[in-house]
Amino acid sequence: MKITIDESSDNKETEIVIKCSALDDNLKRLIEIIKNSDERIIGIINGTSNLISPTDIYYFESVDKKTFIYTETQVLETSMRLYEIEEKLSKYDFFRASKSTIINISKIKKLSPKFNGRLDALLENGEKLIISRQYVPVIKEILDL
């Protein structure tokens, strides 16, 4: 893939041109991400609402009927339920890893097999999460494993 950036004060607006031999699924996903780059999730910490870009989110977890957002440095709460998050972020690299967890695939550093057909996901921030055996085929299909 070749990327060319033409930065000039003569340019009146930002324009993205994609030249390709065929529009495949990866390009379609990239186009969706670009179109929705202003998408934000509201996370609450210490009573303050924060707007978080999906690309900054490592994973979501539901504990005791509360949903938490994990970024590199913060844990925030959101009023959204996991199924709502799945719907809202379906065009991004998020997938359901268990009944209580949704992981950002782009934040996974390493996958390791675990007992009973589960997988360990080591994230870029050093956290380990378990991908339950029910969702292992999903991640394998997404990653072409």
Q: Would 17 be classed as within a structural domain?
A: no
Number of domains in the chain: 1
Three-class secondary structure of residue 8 per DSSP:
coil
Rounded distance, CA 111 to CA 128, Å? 10
Q: b/e per residue, 7-27, with b = 16+ CB within 10 A? A: eeeeeeeeeeeeeeeeeeeee
Q: Which residues pair with 59 in a beta bridge?
A: 70, 103
Range of the domain at 97: 25-143
pLDDT single digits (tens) 61-102: 999 999 999 999 999 999 999 999 998 887 778 999 999 999
Q: pTM here?
A: 0.73
Q: Which is more confidently placed, 68 or 55?
A: 68
CATH for 106? 2.40.50.1020
How confident is the model at residue 37, as a pLDDT? 64
Measured distance CA(74)–CA(76) in Å, rounded: 6
Residue 2 in any domain: the answer is no
- Residue 15 belongs to a domain: no
The verdict on residue 8 lying in a domain is: no
Has residue 18 been placed in a domain?
no
Give pLDDT tens digits for 114-133.
888 899 999 999 999 999 99
